Structure 1
Amino acid sequence: MPTIARPLIDLLNRTSLVLQILIGLLAGIALALFLPAAAQSVAFLGTVFVSALKAVAPILVFVLVAASIANHQRGEQSHIRPILMLYLLGTFSAALVAVIASHLFPSSLTLASNSAALSPPGGIADVLKTLLLNIVDNPVNALLTGNFIGILAWAIGLGIALRHASDGTRQMLGDLSQAVTSIVKLVIRLAPLGIFGLVAATLAESGMGALLDYAHLLAVLVGCMLFVALVVNPLIVFSKLRRNPYPLVFMCLRESGLTAFFTRSSAANIPVNLQLCQRLGLHKETYSVSIPLGATINMAGAAITITVLTLAAVETLGIAVDLPTALLLSLLASISACGASGVAGGSLLLIPLACSLFGIPNEVAMQVVAVGFIIGIVQDSAETALNSSTDVLFTAAVCLDEARTQND
């Protein structure tokens, strides 16, 4: 048996996760079209995958956020602060674009949920009340029930408190975050099987209309990312440089965005971004800090993903969203995106945090996460391309503006 299994394991290791997910997606569609009865029998694969995500996501958010804050080092360069401001502005602007696009082009999903069992909020007052109660929830209960707002609050508090702990304690927390990330990577490696089961069962039960819903959702997501990359980000850069931003924008998209699209990892694209900054003649002490930092917190693409998928669930369940609640969602999506995990699909695991604003149960939210993995072949690649190219773009904007100011 080991002799037979070894070639299969080697083949899986040589095959990219993107290709495996694509194969699982196509296999699920084929099974649903030609053997619908058999498709129903593989639904348990999707159930196992969603359950695994549901189990690991709360711990992942708690540990990663706490470790990130506890081990944060204050930047010594004066240029870092304006770059951080651009990172935050770009991420929040992307979330606002996603809210507007979701309102203009509403998406619906096929979810196994009874909307009558939900208790949607009546307005911003109910949302704020629920938000406050979730923040002060017992941390153990928050982990057990998937209360991501409570998890985030406790993680921030614990991270701040542990900044004064010994180096060994903070190192242990960092090691724990690495261990949890490894478990998440293992779960995500099961995505092809989970997607195979989800797609097969969903299409067998609901027909090809469900796939069309995913195509519309993907179009909204990618459209938002293109709008941010080609309109919003150039406007932000123009506000700093006061000159045509598009030569710099297109250079960053070409030199950084294309590579990130295929690697699907902002962290893996850091060397590419550092080399691009060097070729642009930027301040080394600045970009050596801002590029790795941007790979962690500059997450405009993640903010779009969280917002669009959350509002797709809201639209599906018939929950009304007023303007103050939409703005609160944009803010929450921006904050959540800054803490998105560096693993593939990390932003998807923060969707339940945004869904909890609207009283959407964790079980339903994790189904939305699974939908995100189905369209993640394109969504995650485009998201990473936007995130990583923007790291260089905003770093260059600030450095070039500082150089221009000094020359004047």
Structure 2
Amino acid sequence: MSLTNRILLAMGLAIALGSALEALLTRLSPDSLLYQFIMTWLVDGVFDVAGRVFIASLKLLVVPRVLVSLICGMTALSDSARMGSIAGKTIGLYLVTTGMAVTLGLAGALLVGPGKGISVVADASFEPKPAPPFTEVLVNMFPTNPFRAMVEGEMLQVIIFALLVGFALTRAGESGERIANWFRDMEAVVMKMVAVLIELAPWGVFALLTQLFATMGFGTVLDLAAYFFTLATLLILHGVVVYPLLIRTLTPLDPRKLLVKMRRAWAFAFSTASSGATLPVTLRTVEMRLGVSKSVAGFSVPLGATINMDGTAIMQGVATVFIAQVYGIDLSLTQLVMVIVTATMASIGTAAVPGVGLITLSLVLQQAGLPVEGVALIIGVDRLLDMIRTSVNITGDATVATIVGYREGQLNEAIYNDPLADHDPDDPSEKIKEMKP
């Protein structure tokens, strides 16, 4: 059985086991020994610890993977003008796709009306964390201490530092080439660490999803079924229709190949609900299976994991309409335009803030003149939906990297079109070496 199928099997078994445990726990007395054993030793013990260790291991590789990949990419791309072109196209595409996403969310929610007929909860309350000013975010992109940025996982600062180091190495002659070779060796080591961790993925995925469904179950989904399924449908539509249309429009590539090769990364994103934690797997997929060069992938994918949140943008559009309908507020055209602009800019402006989805939503609601307390209505199902929108987010990162790679002549079409590149989990780099012209 391939690794992808093993991960999918682990997901299915985890959802089934977690739902069964949740149903059993609702029938047991909290004082019973069986309840204590299941909840304390299994759910909050074995599964919770194993899942958190798996997430920590993924996050461990994020900074070194981004740092060495981006430095190696810059040394391979010595022309700074080409790097400027790559950066401009990448950021431009991210802004366009985010704007399309929030527009799709608004249009779909207005068409379906998920909040109609729902009575507002009188005691709903939500205290949003303050979002930093956009100017402050721009200043904070540039590190004052690169080591602190790496320790704290400030990815925009790490990206800026890596670009500067890579650019300096290309101008430092023989000394720069020696250091660049060291980073290339380090990249091979980090890639092997990623490969080892990926082999353990089925166990980590099983633990994560079992713990989630054992504590949540499907009851919360049924309470907000119209909102949940409207948002889930729009997320899937954006992932499997909008992105392929972009690829078809801007390149001659077959978008189905990208979707097929993203399955393993989707499994990671769905189980972790974190674009950052999935970053090493997304980078590996874009480089090894889609054939995007290290210079483009090393810049586009980490930047996308930080600022590109199409799934979150769709959620903001749907949630804004849902909350307005619950409170009986009709949105004007001006408010709708304000939601699109605010949600697009907020995807960048609050990129480094924990809990970005609910924070950006509270910011959008404030700008649209809607009650921020309405966020409390959707918190119950947000964790499940976050798993889906994270999968959409990483698909957007891979799509933009693929388009930019093709437009810049930095994509190996032989690798992109080769289905075997998706079926060599042990060491796909060997397959790529054979196929390079």
Name the TM tier (shorter chain).
0.5 to 0.7
Q: Which residue, out of 383, 387, 390, partners 2:389?
A: 383
Counterpart residue number, 2:270: 261
Counterpart residue number, 1:156: 134
Q: 1:27 and 1:343 mapped to 2: Cα distance?
A: 37
1:314-351 per-residue CA deviation (whole Å, 9 max, x = no partner) reads 01111111233212212212222334557885312322
Q: 2:129 and 2:273 mapped to 1: Cα distance?
A: 28
1:74-112 per-residue CA deviation (whole Å, 9 max, x = no partner) reads x96231221221111111111111011111111125533
Letter in 2 for 1:395: A
Q: CA deviation at 1:175?
A: 5.3
Counterpart residue number, 1:62: none
Q: CA deviation at 1:234?
A: 1.3
Q: CA deviation at 1:169?
A: 11
Q: Which residue, out of 337, 349, 360, partners 1:350?
A: 360
C-alpha distance 322-268 of structure 1, shift in aligned 2 (>3 A): same
Counterpart residue number, 2:369: 359
- TM-score, normalization: structure 2? 0.55
C-alpha distance 345-376 of structure 1, shift in aligned 2 (>3 A): farther
Unaligned runs of 5+ in 1: 1-17, 32-74, 116-144, 179-191, 200-207
Q: Which residue, out of 100, 110, 115, partners 1:103?
A: 110
Map 1:172-251 onto structure 2 (within 5 A): 212-251=222-261
Q: CA deviation at 1:228?
A: 0.5
1:217-262 per-residue CA deviation (whole Å, 9 max, x = no partner) reads 110111111111121111111221034322223323x132222111
Counterpart residue number, 1:396: 402
What SS does the corresponding residue of 2:238 show, helix, strand or coil? helix
Q: 1:80 and 1:303 mapped to 2: Cα distance?
A: 22
Q: CA deviation at 1:313?
A: 0.6
Counterpart residue number, 1:138: none
| Contact 1:265 1:343 survives alignment (8 Å) | no
Q: 1:326 and 1:28 mapped to 2: Cα distance?
A: 44
| Contact 2:300 2:400 survives alignment (8 Å) | no
C-alpha distance 93-27 of structure 1, shift in aligned 2 (>3 A): farther
| Contact 1:296 1:342 survives alignment (8 Å) | yes
| Contact 2:292 2:412 survives alignment (8 Å) | no
| Contact 2:305 2:397 survives alignment (8 Å) | yes
Q: 1:86 and 1:335 mapped to 2: Cα distance?
A: 14
Q: Which residue, out of 308, 319, 323, partners 1:313?
A: 323
| Contact 1:341 1:347 survives alignment (8 Å) | no
Are residue 167 (structure 1) and residue 144 (structure 2) matched?
A: yes
Q: 1:290 and 1:319 mapped to 2: Cα distance?
A: 39
| Identical amino acids, percent of aligned pairs | 22
C-alpha distance 327-23 of structure 1, shift in aligned 2 (>3 A): farther
| Contact 2:307 2:347 survives alignment (8 Å) | yes
Q: 2:255 and 2:146 mapped to 1: Cα distance?
A: 45
Counterpart residue number, 1:294: 304
1:351-386 per-residue CA deviation (whole Å, 9 max, x = no partner) reads 211111343333x23423xx2x32134301101111
| Contact 1:305 1:348 survives alignment (8 Å) | no
Letter in 2 for 1:106: G
| Contact 2:228 2:381 survives alignment (8 Å) | yes
The total of aligned residue pairs comes to: 285
C-alpha distance 300-356 of structure 1, shift in aligned 2 (>3 A): same
Q: 2:223 and 2:341 mapped to 1: Cα distance?
A: 27
What SS does the corresponding residue of 1:79 show, helix, strand or coil? helix
Letter in 1 for 2:337: L
Counterpart residue number, 2:343: 333
Are residue 79 (structure 1) and residue 86 (structure 2) matched?
A: yes
| Contact 1:241 1:400 survives alignment (8 Å) | yes
Counterpart residue number, 1:93: 100
Q: 1:169 and 1:388 mapped to 2: Cα distance?
A: 26
1:111-135 per-residue CA deviation (whole Å, 9 max, x = no partner) reads 33499xxxxxxxxxxxxxxxxxxxx
What SS does the corresponding residue of 1:268 show, helix, strand or coil? helix
RMSD: 4.2
